[in-house]
Amino acid sequence: MNTSPSQTVVIFAWLLCGIMFNTGLCSFTIRCKQQDMHALLNFKQGVKDPSGLLSSWSTELDCCEWRGVNCNNITSRVTDLSLPCSTTLPSYLDREDKSHCLTGSIHLSLLLMELEFLDSLNLRNNDFFAIQFDYMHNHNCHNLSATTPHHCVNSSTLRHLDLSLNTKLVLNSLQWLPSISSLEYLNLRYIDLSKETNWLQLVTMLPSLSYLNMRSCQLEDLSLSTQYANFTALKVLRLSANEFNSELPKWLFNLSSNIYSLDLSSSSLIGHLPKALLNLRELEDLVLEDNNFDGPIPDWLGEFEHLQVLIIGVNMFSGFIPTNLGNISTLTNLDVASNPLTGVVSERNLAKLSKLKVLYIYSYSALIFDFDSHWIPPFQLEELVIGFANPNLPTWLYTQKSIESLTISGSSFEVQDKFWNYVSRMSELELEGNSIYGNISNVLLNSTFIDLSSNGLKGCLPRLSANVAIAALSNNSLTGDLSPLLCDHKMLNGKNNLVFLDISQNQLSGGLTSCWKNWKSLVAIHLGSNNLEGKIPPSMGLLPNLTSLHLHENNLHGEIPSSLQNCRSLLVFNVRNNHFSGNIPNWISHNVMALQLSNNLSGTIPPQMFRLTGLSSLNLSHNKLAGKIPNEIGNMKNLESLDFSTNQLEGEIPESLSSLSFLGSLNLSFNNLTGKIPSGTQLQGFTALSYMGNRDLCGPPLTELCFQDDKHKDTKLVDEDGHRSEFWPWFYIGIESGFVTGFLGVCCGIFLSRRLRHAYFKIVSDLRDRLYLMIVININPFRKDAEQYWHFSLFKRTN
Ligand SMILES: *[C@@H]1O[C@H](CO)[C@@H](O)[C@H](O)[C@H]1NC(C)=O
Ligand SMILES: *[C@@H]1O[C@H](CO)[C@@H](O)[C@H](O)[C@H]1NC(C)=O
Ligand SMILES: *[C@@H]1O[C@H](CO)[C@@H](O)[C@H](O)[C@H]1NC(C)=O
Ligand SMILES: *[C@@H]1O[C@H](CO)[C@@H](O)[C@H](O)[C@H]1NC(C)=O
Ligand SMILES: *[C@@H]1O[C@H](CO)[C@@H](O)[C@H](O)[C@H]1NC(C)=O
Ligand SMILES: *[C@@H]1O[C@H](CO)[C@@H](O)[C@H](O)[C@H]1NC(C)=O
């Protein structure tokens, strides 16, 4: 039978669909276009995906259904690729765990060329380390397009590009940026752009750009060859945390009048604020804090008509706070704090600020508050930071019924019951480092976050309500024992939220009490530098979340109770300068990373120490340690730095030392070591400076030759038990692994409440800073981290 070609097609299609129907393939329609699917699979090829985020990206599934992919409903073309990585902490905290995020390289030009209709690309907070943008994909595009149209990027569709927080990414060039001419939103926050000196010129070539974020990109140059920047569409400009070291550039004042948000904080800017800033008439947010601006706070700032956020704290502004600021009735946030301002602050400064919610106002040179005692402010604040030279709090404070967070800085006054009653409704109370005095024996603290440290508070410990999560009372003159705070069962109804307790550096006496079982949520306990006595009660082992326990500089004695090994989260355990006895407990895990030891140690190196197999750095230099270097040193496989210099160690260098394959720094100088430096090992890789000043040490890298048979067989053994009582006085350990993550497990309740993030970071900072600054004080590689951390804490407020 003859069939026409068209009939053949129909029959064939019918047959085909019959087959597909039987296999279930006809039960849905495939939307995804081949070209888009190939583009995505190409992208996937360049990506390392350790946790299988892209496991749904397989040809068995419609690519419009793949994770992170969105298609247009009508055309079915891919319009959205959104694969941000979520991490537990903001990734500008170094050491944030990103092992589950995408890494590898992004072939951006190919992706944009093939996904012709891509509107939005979001790869935020992953761990990519490279971006490829082939020039042939866009350069001379028009010349090439006739012959090789597919090699020309047509990115007139991409509007939204977010590569921010890929902190390993270093972009040497942004030459490719103008070819994505449709861009409206560009976020490159925390990407290293230090190599691209022409960044500004390139960015200004994007005619539709309305949002630009280049916070913390290591930019240094704010200048533009032309006076006039073409950012005609710009609405939001964030260039904070860079190193410009210049005045505000002229082009800024010539920006389009659309701009409503400008953030140039923490960018080393200098000079006076020029009046030309008023050209940006529509500004709603002006954030210039943490720079070196000087001169007066200009009174023309009062002429902005839409300003809601004015943050100019942490600069060098001097003189009076102009009363004109009190005209900006749109203001919700005003921060002039931490400038060397002088003079009087009165109701005139705040007269018309009826919308004000957040007010920061204090100066290191002490402002005088001259408020009418009957003044009732037009605002109800939610957050207040003040400091004043007067001996009393301003009375209008008590009219503020909505304050959630109160910080007082650089002030001195006596706190009385009225104050404690008033603040008990707030969730955050920060009075650290004032000269606040008074007896707090009868006070009941109720805020979630309370910092009263470094003041002149007296009396017995206050009581804590079940609301309190963080209580810092260190460095006051508190007396009595721990029981008012810990053992008042009436208060607690068995439930409380205390996570962080710091009552170190007071004059507390008595024992550690047996009331710890009531405080199961505790993560950090600081009781150092008091007169506490007795033993560590076994009930401390009932604190399952305990991460940091500081008991140093007290009169505690006895053995470390074995129950403490139940504190599985314990990372920092500081008991130096007490009178403990007994052996180092076995439970002290191999996770210990660094050991700090005070000077003037004598005796031998206790071999128990070498159970700390996770240690990466050990510094026992400048002590009076004698005896041999124990062979067990070879157990510390992670050691990167070892300093035994300037002691009285003797005997041979143990062969086992040469098995430490990570050892990058070694100093055995100025001891009484003898014999041959183990040869044929990496120990010869160090210079003579690592071995000098040892009487009878020989062999390379030293110039002293060894005689074949002259092997000193030093058989003097270390007395295993003889010196353990000397070990405890200077024992201090820090365990780093999983630190932040483990901690977060307990605290995420706090973390998720935005208002209490501040408090949360405070604990992290406390733990981390102590870890770095106390334990690892001699270890250089960690210093950088500590600095970065401080850097972070500077700008936490604006984030
Ligand atoms: C680029 O794509 C847009 C939208 O799809 C289209 O209108 C335009 O003609 C294309 N340009 C080139 C040079 O292919
Ligand atoms: C600014 O934009 C206009 C119009 O889009 C253009 O003609 C001009 O060349 C641009 N100037 C610069 C310096 O990019
Ligand atoms: C920017 O400055 C130039 C020259 O100084 C001026 O002609 C232009 O109108 C200004 N543009 C804006 C938006 O202020
Ligand atoms: C702004 O404040 C100053 C001083 O308080 C006052 O003299 C001036 O009239 C105010 N201007 C406006 C427009 O309200
Ligand atoms: C080892 O320590 C000694 C004494 O402190 C010092 O002089 C020497 O330079 C150090 N060697 C190295 C390699 O750091
Ligand atoms: C060890 O500590 C001493 C001071 O206590 C310091 O001078 C030395 O540089 C430290 N060694 C290393 C390797 O950091």
Residue 308: count of CB within 10 angstroms of its CB: 20
Specify the range with the lowest mean pLDDT, choosing from 264-273, 321-330, 468-477. Answer: 468-477
Can you tell me the mean pLDDT for 592-598? 47
Answer yes or no: are the C-beta atoms of 614 and 590 closer than 8 Å. yes
Measured CA to CA, the distance from residue 481 to residue 530 in angstroms comes to 10
Can you tell me the mean pLDDT for 189-201? 94
Task: Kindly state whether residues 10 and 37 are assigned to the same domain.
Answer: no
- Residue after which a domain boundary falls, among 403, 426, 447: 403
- CB under 6 Å to ligand 1: residues? 116, 145, 154, 156-157
- For residue 153, being part of any structural domain is answered with yes
Q: Cα–Cα distances in Å, from 303 out to 178, 275, 310, 542, 649?
A: 36, 11, 12, 61, 74
Please give the tally of structural domains in the chain. 4
Residue 275 has pLDDT above 60, yes or no: yes
Task: Kindly state whether residues 178 and 267 are assigned to the same domain.
Answer: no
| Of 155 and 115, the one with more pLDDT | 115
31 DSSP assignment: -
Measured CA to CA, the distance from residue 740 to residue 736 in angstroms comes to 9
Instruction: Give the model's confidence band at 785: pLDDT under 50 very low, under 70 low, under 90 confident, else very high.
Output: very low
Beta-strand relationship, 69-71 and 78-82: antiparallel
Task: Kindly state whether residues 303 and 376 are assigned to the same domain.
Answer: yes
Can you tell me the mean pLDDT for 165-171? 92
Centre of ligand 1 from the C-alpha of residue 156, in Å: 7
| Substitution site in 198, 225, 230, 254 for ligand 2 pocket (most atoms within 8 Å of beta carbon) | 230
- Domain span at residue 18? 1-30
Can you tell me the mean pLDDT for 148-175? 79
- For residue 646 and ligand 6, the question of a CB distance below 6 A is answered with no
Amino acid symbol at 635: N
Handedness of CA 650, 653, 655, 656 (dihedral sign): positive
| Substitution site in 620, 648, 649, 669 for ligand 5 pocket (most atoms within 8 Å of beta carbon) | 669
Q: What is the CATH number of the domain that holds 251?
A: 3.80.10.10
Residue 587 has pLDDT above 60, yes or no: no
Task: Kindly state whether residues 184 and 243 are assigned to the same domain.
Answer: no
Instruction: Give the model's confidence band at 607: pLDDT under 50 very low, under 70 low, under 90 confident, else very high.
Output: low
* Range list of H helices, 101-185: 108-114, 141-145
pLDDT at site 717: 24
Task: Kindly state whether residues 153 and 293 are assigned to the same domain.
Answer: no
Most distant CA pair in the chain, distance: 111
Measured CA to CA, the distance from residue 691 to residue 669 in angstroms comes to 4
- For residue 666, being part of any structural domain is answered with no
- For residue 436, being part of any structural domain is answered with no
- For residue 660, being part of any structural domain is answered with no
Q: Could you report the per-residue pLDDT of 631-681, keeping only the tens digit for each? A: 888 888 877 788 899 999 999 999 888 888 778 889 999 999 998 888 767
Nearest CA to ligand 3 atom 10: 254
- For residue 208 and ligand 2, the question of a CB distance below 6 A is answered with no
Task: Kindly state whether residues 24 and 57 are assigned to the same domain.
Answer: no
Report the nearest atom of ligand 5 relative to the CA of 687.
13
- Residue after which a domain boundary falls, among 376, 403, 430: 403
Instruction: Give the model's confidence band at 305: pLDDT under 50 very low, under 70 low, under 90 confident, else very high.
Output: very high
- For residue 570, being part of any structural domain is answered with no
- For residue 130, being part of any structural domain is answered with yes
- For residue 647 and ligand 5, the question of a CB distance below 6 A is answered with no
- For residue 431, being part of any structural domain is answered with no
Task: Kindly state whether residues 54 and 181 are assigned to the same domain.
Answer: yes
With 0.85 as the threshold, say if the pTM is over it.
no
Instruction: Give the model's confidence band at 364: pLDDT under 50 very low, under 70 low, under 90 confident, else very high.
Output: confident
Centre of ligand 5 from the C-alpha of residue 581, in Å: 34
- For residue 545, being part of any structural domain is answered with no
pLDDT at site 536: 92
Q: Could you report the per-residue pLDDT of 457-511, keeping only the tens digit for each? A: 999 999 999 888 889 999 999 999 999 999 986 655 667 888 889 999 999 999 9
**Mean pLDDT comparison of 209-218, 601-610, 734-743, highest-scoring range:** 209-218
Measured CA to CA, the distance from residue 504 to residue 484 in angstroms comes to 16
Measured CA to CA, the distance from residue 174 to residue 746 in angstroms comes to 42
Measured CA to CA, the distance from residue 419 to residue 417 in angstroms comes to 5
Task: Kindly state whether residues 174 and 303 are assigned to the same domain.
Answer: no
Residue 273 exposure: Cα atoms within 13 Å on the Cβ side: 21
- For residue 258 and ligand 3, the question of a CB distance below 6 A is answered with no
Task: Kindly state whether residues 133 and 269 are assigned to the same domain.
Answer: no
Can you tell me the mean pLDDT for 351-364? 94
Task: Kindly state whether residues 158 and 273 are assigned to the same domain.
Answer: no
Task: Kindly state whether residues 270 and 125 are assigned to the same domain.
Answer: no
147 — phi, psi (to 5°)? -90, -45
Nearest CA to ligand 4 atom 8: 324
pLDDT at site 282: 94
- For residue 226 and ligand 2, the question of a CB distance below 6 A is answered with yes
Burial zone of 772 (CB within 10 Å; 0-12 exposed, 13-18 middle, 19+ buried): buried
- For residue 645 and ligand 5, the question of a CB distance below 6 A is answered with yes
Task: Kindly state whether residues 304 and 393 are assigned to the same domain.
Answer: yes
